[in-house]
Amino acid sequence: MMPTVLVHGGGLDRRCWDRLLPHLPGPVLAVDLPGRGTHPVPLHSVGLADCAASVRDDIDAAGYDSVVLVGHSLAGCSMPAVVALLGERVQRLVLVACTVPEDGQSAFDTLDPDIQTMLREAGEPREPRPMEPALAKMVLGNDLDDEQFAWCVERLVPEAVRLTTEPVDLSPLRGPLPCTWVRTLRDLIIPATKQSRFVDNVGHCDVIDMDAGHMCMVSQPAALAEILNDVAS
């Protein structure tokens, strides 16, 4: 079975995959992006290229020649840069409830105009901080029970602002790389209709639907693992 590399989304670190890992029997690596966990650097310095280099370095350290690359949520913005660095070593790309802007746009550009205005007026926080639990409950916790949601809150971390504002170059995805999209039908933060538009931005994805919210690796780890194991085999 080909090694699976798991890349977390925004405001999270590699621990968000912990409930999924026991369901993945093959080689698996859950990485921390720069600025959190095992890769502490100042968050203000972290951009998409830094994330790509960090993922590549972790894969090199693990000794994997070929991988299935799995990204969740905001990781959709850094996945093209990772693919550009790894080339044919990525045998398949799996995007789980991801944000993939149009070529040359950013994650911020995909937000509704009213939300963009609200965020601009609020300005950047003096220090990055984790998502507030009340907001997390609304956008992440709609299909989580109390224990699952509390588990997620313990794993929320500050995010690097540049990852949401840097333009994304989709050209590395324009080749023959096979791609699978896991579309979460009960997602509130990236609704299924918006995910469908992001699928079109990638252009050649097999789409698999899950009746789950955004944190499907927490609410339905066995179901997500079944998809990933099938891809990796």
DSSP of 123-184: ---SS--PPPHHHHHHHT-TT--HHHHHHHHTT-----THHHHS----GGGSSS--EEEEEE
> What element of type H or E holds 229?
helix 221-232
pLDDT in tens, 1-22: 899 999 999 999 999 999 999 9
- % of residues, the chain, pLDDT over 90: 86
Question: What is the reported pTM?
Answer: 0.95
pLDDT in tens, 73-99: 999 999 999 999 999 999 999 999 999
Contact 142, 188 (CB under 8 A): yes
pLDDT in tens, 105-147: 999 999 877 766 766 665 665 678 899 999 899 899 999 999 9
The domain that holds 80 is classified in CATH as: 3.40.50.1820
Report pLDDT for 204: 86
Report pLDDT for 127: 75
Report pLDDT for 175: 82
Contact 128, 159 (CB under 8 A): yes
Contact 9, 31 (CB under 8 A): no
The phi, psi pair for 131, rounded to 5°, reads -60, 135
Report pLDDT for 198: 97
How far are the Cα atoms of 75, 99, 100, 201 from residue 80, in angstroms, in the given order? 9, 12, 9, 12
Place of tokens 């746009």: 105
Domains held by the chain: number = 1
Report pLDDT for 122: 58
Contact 153, 136 (CB under 8 A): yes
How far apart CA 87 and CA 108 sit, in angstroms, is 27
**Domain enclosing residue 217, as ranges:** 4-232
> What element of type H or E holds 197?
helix 192-202
Alpha-helical runs (H) found in 24-145: 48-62, 75-86, 113-122, 133-139
pLDDT averaged over the chain? 94
195: pLDDT strictly greater than 90: yes
